[in-house]
Structure 1
């Protein structure tokens, strides 16, 4: 097929890619192509209906990736859902909108990501939002992403807010304000419709749909990126599939990678960008020595299986099936909260844990927001149709396990507070809180993912940094940028959707200024 060309080619039509397509095509003189491997999101009711998001996991709209098993997680493979559809994971996730603590972003700058402090990130966060409460010093209004809380929270969500103060955890009105420490109603990138149901507000809905009419913007679905075209130290285009055929699309200004923390490093590696020894082991020609590609993989671990029987009927599911969350500090916390828990309006089974889940059952899942274990992403071959090896190394570091033990204990303490006693809450676990070995065994069999993949092409200036923080350009290559969760150097204490959108907002401005 004949080669074609654009000023910008954005590879990956997910949370970041839709933002970039909007912002870069705002210049009518710049032609922009957005390439997405998956299908369109249009006409898929499960995507729009907030209550049906779980049905998308493992579906045709999910890449179907799995974490590699290790003894630390009882030899289990753990599914890591990633959106394979326009909008990416913003089209299949739980629609939770959190930024983390301001200290998270100052830690980015301290790690070498100069210019990415809280002070510089806040304007991007505010620009992306249309917060139901209106604009203030922390929140934005009128932005592309509609953000709301539940208009009728589920009783379990309300019990968390009422019970948290009994265990010394405050209630915070806005977890996206000055601090995220405490219990709070969930912030959703969703809106309540006239019939009272909640519907998803993905980046397609917020950023892409309003600008589809632009003549300089082209969106191409069902197109898999095969490799980058590198010539003379510059990325000049992308080889990708269209209708089953390989097509080369050239980029006059450059290529922006927005495939996410798994597929961005995989595409770089398949293109000969990465650690030389690793690439040669797969017979991939080394075109650019960059050993940090695919390293520093991070995700937040949670613990499934913390199911609770209720003697009070729970009623129908509301909103996204959740509704509130809580952040608090372990005994190991140095600054800010490191533990997290969220409610689930139905059971949350764990494959390695057997429980009787008949009757009215809900879950309160604990997790760790300041995990220190690090993993990697590595392609298995040069084929774009073979899933890469993804290894988060959950629980590899003892500090992570110690904190999760405390997180499990904190959830059991919460379930003993008056609001949960009023529900007749009975935890369906077979261990005593003081039996550390039993709790550790439960965690190893129940550890799961928050879906917060990040870090595999991190910002910085050291030898293992992949992108330059000043512009997000891949170090040593012209015409190639990364603008997704891959660039995050240290995982924030939050869901990663809002930070990724803010990164893409800033990236678009930096890239436009660089050409």
Structure 2
């Protein structure tokens, strides 16, 4: 059940039918489908190394240990006054499988309204009814095929098992609070509390590289690791191929049919900008000659927020961490007038606290964290290059809580978290609130929020799909104004889904594959 792919020593040719930049959650999907359903040659590129034999990748309880390592691009969000000028890490996978090899293994799709909203904005084919079969195609659900789950797909998924005491307690606390209890977080309209669904099978992470395993030896597929794309090559408005740095040399490779950019919400806009595709004025300021004017490249950045705090001291140890250090979650509304839950609550059996909170409040010996989060943020940010260097520094700015509605929703999330912690099941476990020591009024809560805002590691939206002036790709994921070039990853989401984004990123890979194959 090893979900990892060992290193290979491929031969790099001068041309391929398709070049896929990024072997992450979408890129691995596309490579597999093109090999299975066409006679095309495919080059799949990964900036990081192979993922074989790495315990922190395969073992679900060790996933946080990948952050800040060679398997992480080591990006940070820029500080702003709204979050007390704190620098917030944004881990991104730099390894075969991309962020799908280092993330928290949560398998959720969000709400029906997320996709229907994309379609209502003019993105034909992205409504919930249309994308549901693509989600099912990915899955090998532990319970066999159902109306909402697939069986026999590459990615084994199932509900968390042997729930940690804090995860059991959240479900019971939610029930007594008045939340519906669900058994499957992947229903069309998740709201309430229940067990997490994880991309774990037989205790091992199901990385996107599961897609590659059956085709890794195929002569039409070349997989390069430690390959850094420098830019796209354009002939007028047609993308003809790429320039990349591999094994200490610069290579030019031609794509006979298409280049598919699947480098994620940070690096996909960077590659476009390096190639002269983006906001013309900003490119000129960097000394890059604009080729295609697309002012939306790098704009519309969105991310889910978790509050890294609300740590409770317990009367007794609650047992060793298991599953993915969590195991259940709640989806709820900050305002009952909302049509879709905008909040999430997680019982984390690890010290999930910001550096600023830890400095003020040490973690007790016996503890768990009850973590509120915002999954429908209104704030929008951007990705910019600070220099024209392909490996130069980036300005990655999500503009956390700059929209007042986000601050209000997070204040309410803390209040609901306190109400959940006051339910009988938690009162029997909790000795005291340890970090912070007090959340008794709005001023204390707001101060806590500004110190506790953290990423849920779900950046999306920076190459948004649509037809407006800041859209980057159309509904078939083709880059506006360019032929032979598609973007397929989380960057194309016009608005963020109301749950973890990995499953949706893989669905985007299936969507792109279907578009390419059906239009050959």
Which residue pairs with 1:281 in the alignment?
285
SS of equivalent residue, structure 1 residue 148: strand
Distance, in Å, in 1 between the alignment partners of 2:482 and 2:38 is 27
Which residue pairs with 1:379 in the alignment?
385
Q: Structure 1: which 4+ aligned runs deviate by more than 6 Å?
A: none
Q: Which of 392, 402, 414 pairs up with 1:396? A: 402
User: TM-score scaled to structure 2, two decimals?
Assistant: 0.96
CA contact (8 A) 2:312 2:430 kept: no
Pair 1:212-2:216 in alignment: yes
Distance, in Å, in 1 between the alignment partners of 2:459 and 2:190 is 21
Once the two structures are superposed, residues 302-325 of structure 1 have per-residue CA deviations (whole angstroms, 9 ceiling, x without a partner) of 100111111121111111111110
Distance, in Å, in 2 between the alignment partners of 1:476 and 1:260 is 21
Distance, in Å, in 2 between the alignment partners of 1:501 and 1:28 is 20
Pair 1:132-2:142 in alignment: yes
Which residue pairs with 2:8 in the alignment?
none
1:274-423 mapped onto 2 (5 Å cutoff): 274-331=278-335, 333-353=337-357, 354-423=360-429
Distance 1:216 1:430, change over 3 A: closer
Pair 1:480-2:485 in alignment: yes
Post-superposition offset of 1:432: 4.9
Which residue pairs with 1:11 in the alignment?
21
Pair 1:107-2:113 in alignment: no
Post-superposition offset of 1:514: 3.3
Which residue pairs with 2:78 in the alignment?
68
Distance, in Å, in 1 between the alignment partners of 2:34 and 2:489 is 15
Give aligned pairs, total: 508
Gaps of 5+ in 1: 193-197
RMSD: 1.4
Q: Which of 7, 24, 49 pairs up with 2:34? A: 24
Distance, in Å, in 1 between the alignment partners of 2:436 and 2:297 is 42
SS of equivalent residue, structure 1 residue 453: coil
Distance, in Å, in 2 between the alignment partners of 1:376 and 1:394 is 11
Which residue pairs with 1:260 in the alignment?
264
Once the two structures are superposed, residues 91-118 of structure 1 have per-residue CA deviations (whole angstroms, 9 ceiling, x without a partner) of 0001000001101101111223222110
Q: Which of 512, 516, 520 pairs up with 1:511? A: 516
SS of equivalent residue, structure 1 residue 352: helix
Distance, in Å, in 2 between the alignment partners of 1:323 and 1:28 is 40
Pair 1:178-2:188 in alignment: yes
Post-superposition offset of 1:332: 6.3
Pair 1:226-2:226 in alignment: no
Post-superposition offset of 1:2: 9.2
Once the two structures are superposed, residues 368-401 of structure 1 have per-residue CA deviations (whole angstroms, 9 ceiling, x without a partner) of 1111000001112222212321000000000000
CA contact (8 A) 1:95 1:189 kept: yes
User: Which sits farther off after the overlay, 305-314 or 23-32?
Assistant: 23-32
SS of equivalent residue, structure 1 residue 269: helix
Distance, in Å, in 2 between the alignment partners of 1:151 and 1:340 is 20
Distance, in Å, in 2 between the alignment partners of 1:214 and 1:248 is 23
Gaps of 5+ in 2: 1-10
Q: Which of 55, 58, 66 pairs up with 2:68? A: 58
Distance, in Å, in 2 between the alignment partners of 1:431 and 1:242 is 52
Once the two structures are superposed, residues 221-267 of structure 1 have per-residue CA deviations (whole angstroms, 9 ceiling, x without a partner) of 00001000000211010101111211111000010000001100000
Distance, in Å, in 1 between the alignment partners of 2:315 and 2:493 is 44
Distance 1:333 1:94, change over 3 A: farther
Distance, in Å, in 1 between the alignment partners of 2:236 and 2:280 is 18
